[in-house]
Structure 1
Amino acid sequence: MIKDICTVIRVKKIADSIFEMVLEGRIADEVENPGQFIHIRVTEGNAPLLRRPVSIAAVDKKNHRLTIIFRSGGQGTLLLSRKVPGETLDILGPLGNGFPVDKVDSGGTAILAGGGIGVPPLYGLGLKLREQGVKVISVLGFQTAESVFYQDEFASLGETYIATVDGTSGTKGFVTDVLNERGFEADILYTCGPLPMLRALEAGDYARETYLSMEERMGCGIGACFACVCRKKDDPNGHSYKKVCSDGPVFKAGEVLI
């Protein structure tokens, strides 16, 4: 982890309330695994006080750049969406433990199941898996057609399916509806998204192994404040915890209670 002042290269609205931002700085060279995140100070003042955690969607180490995708919802992300090229951001990162890319061999099949703003870290994962000769199947869930983003980018990695709750794009329903309908045979499933989706995927039998990336509110982002803890599943007394920011955000299915 380093603290870096990164330059905003591009900010682009890519879907309803969804923005793509490209940053340039030394921090891009430090990224080890897809699924890690950065912690952004959105202003130089004290409001908002806390940094904002945002997952890394892709890395271009040759040009020292990384891409993030975020939803503009609260005060901090609204300010972030208004940044313009040339401005700088105070960033900590890369943080957390990402997806284990060595769990599937070349020639194997991986399913990437993303929901909403949980989709971005799966794109960098898909790029890495494809480089390793893994077949990538992406199943992406959104609320409506206006919320869909990166469909073409994922399609460049392999088979890609869209599900929307209202049925305005792709399959009507959820990512589990696509998986149940298609009956893919996969070695591994990687997923990131809202907790109900993660619970459904953990309970299903979609692959030999499943890895889940958790989304939690964070304070420090480095494991000191205990604001993002979740309970370990194998603790009968319920007194043992994992910190999403430093132990995760990626966990093997069954490791923590979701």
Structure 2
Amino acid sequence: MAGQMPVLYLSHGAPPLADHPRWPGELAAWSRELPRPTAVLMISAHWEAAPIALGATTTVPLIYDFGGFPQRYYQVRYAAPGAPELADKVRKLLGGGGVVDVPDRGLDHGAYVPLKEMYPEADVPVLQLSMPTLDPQRLMQVGRRLAPLRAEGVLIVGSGFFTHNLRAITTGDEHVYNFTAEFDDWGRETLAAHDLDALLDFENKAPAAHLAHPRTDHFAPLFVALGAGADDFTNQRTVIDGFWLGMARRSIQLG
């Protein structure tokens, strides 16, 4: 629909994303192509909580939810403004009493790592929302309820990874296990065919689904995005593809 913000599903990368030769520039270029959002509503693979929870609506410290990286990755700052008005709207859309607040919960790396490349000035208000389930159908329903925010300039972002098997990490972007490439090809073809039923049943329909996603948390944000962008499902495109350390970094835009 005219006047609506697009919806994104992006493969967010680990903290070393900032050092990748192409990825930061790809994210920056993507954000320049988008209308300027009034706020970002971020659904990250790294926050599961039921009932649905809302993160901080003020600027609080980031969550460095990773280990084993050089110290400089723990010194990254991203002091985006909070979005209390957006939080009020989300509560109403999701049923008010079924939503809890976690006022001291800062942005995790699934949120701030890509946002730091897309909006480096940290001048767009950001609100993070938990995933209450990994069930694709239920996440679609959450996304559909959030969809009216698009007309108010809110950029809804599902942040995960198109494949995510940490035991299949490789030493370079071009070395990819067959099951990763097969799953990524299936996802590309299924999205192009607008086959929503197959996507929802990816654990049974996709080749090597349980190898590509031993746990489905990083694919799950796609379904919130698909729900929020359901009206634009036939108007979606891959913006970023390829691989990073053996994982598919396919990222899409609806609308």
TM-score above 0.5, yes or no: no
The structure whose residues are more often helix, as a share, is 2
**TM-score bucket of the superposed structures, by smaller chain:** 0.3 to 0.5
TM-score between both structures, scaled by the size of structure 1: 0.32
TM-score between both structures, scaled by the size of structure 2: 0.33
Which of the pair has more CA radius of gyration? 1
